[in-house]
Chain A
Amino acid sequence: MASVTKGWDRNQMAARAAQELQDGWYVNLGIGIPTLVANYIPKGVEVTLQSENGMLGMGPFPFEGEEDADLINAGKQTVTELPQTAFFDSAQSFAMIRGGKINMAILGAMEVSETGDLANWMIPGKLVKGMGGAMDLVAGVKRVVVVMDHTNKAGESKVLPKCELPLTGKAVVNRIISNLGVLDVVPGGLKIVECAEGVTEAEIRAATKATIV
Chain B
Amino acid sequence: MKKIFATADEALKDVLFDGMLIAAGGFGLCGIPELLIAAIKRAGTKNLTIASNNAGVDGFGLGQLLENRQVKKMMSSYVGENAEFMRQYLSKELEVEFNPQGTLAERMRAGGAGIPGFYTKTGVGTVIAEGKEVKDFDGQTYVLERGIVADLSIVKAWKADPSGNLVFRKTARNFNPPAATCGKICVAEVEEIVPLGSLDPDTIHTPGIYVHRLIQGQHEKRIEQRTVRKKEIA
Residues of A within 8 A of B (CB): 51-55, 60-79, 81, 87-91, 93-95, 97-98, 117, 125, 128-136, 139-140, 166-171
Contacts and interface: CB of A to CB of B under 8 A. Distances in A.
Interface stretch (B4-12, B37-45, B125-133, B192-200): B125-133
Interface in B75-104: 76-81, 86, 89-90, 96, 98, 100-104
A183 to B, nearest CB: 21
12 contacts: A63-B231, A69-B30, A76-B225, A78-B223, A89-B176, A91-B178, A94-B106, A98-B102, A131-B100, A133-B101, A140-B122, A171-B125
B2 interface: no
Contact of B228 (A52, A67, A139, A168): A67
Given A63-B230, A94-B106, 15 more contacts: A53-B171, A53-B174, A67-B223, A69-B221, A70-B158, A70-B221, A72-B28, A81-B170, A94-B103, A130-B76, A132-B101, A135-B126, A139-B122, A140-B122, A166-B127
B124 interface: yes
B126 A166 contact: yes
Nearest to B126: A167
Contacts of A55: 170-171
Interface residues of B, number: 59
A133 B175 contact: no
Contact of A128 (B28, B89, B124, B171): B89
Given A128-B96, A135-B122, A170-B125, A90 B78 contact: no
B47 interface: no
A171 to B, nearest CB: 8
A139 B227 contact: no
Contacts of A97: 102
B231 A90 contact: no
B173 interface: yes
Contacts of A117: 125
B27 interface: yes
B62 interface: no
Most B C-beta atoms less than 10 A away, residue of A53, A88, A169? A53
B91 to A, nearest CB: 12
B225 A72 contact: yes
Contacts of A90: 27, 53, 101-102, 104-105, 174-175, 178
Given A77-B227, A78-B225, A72 B79 contact: no
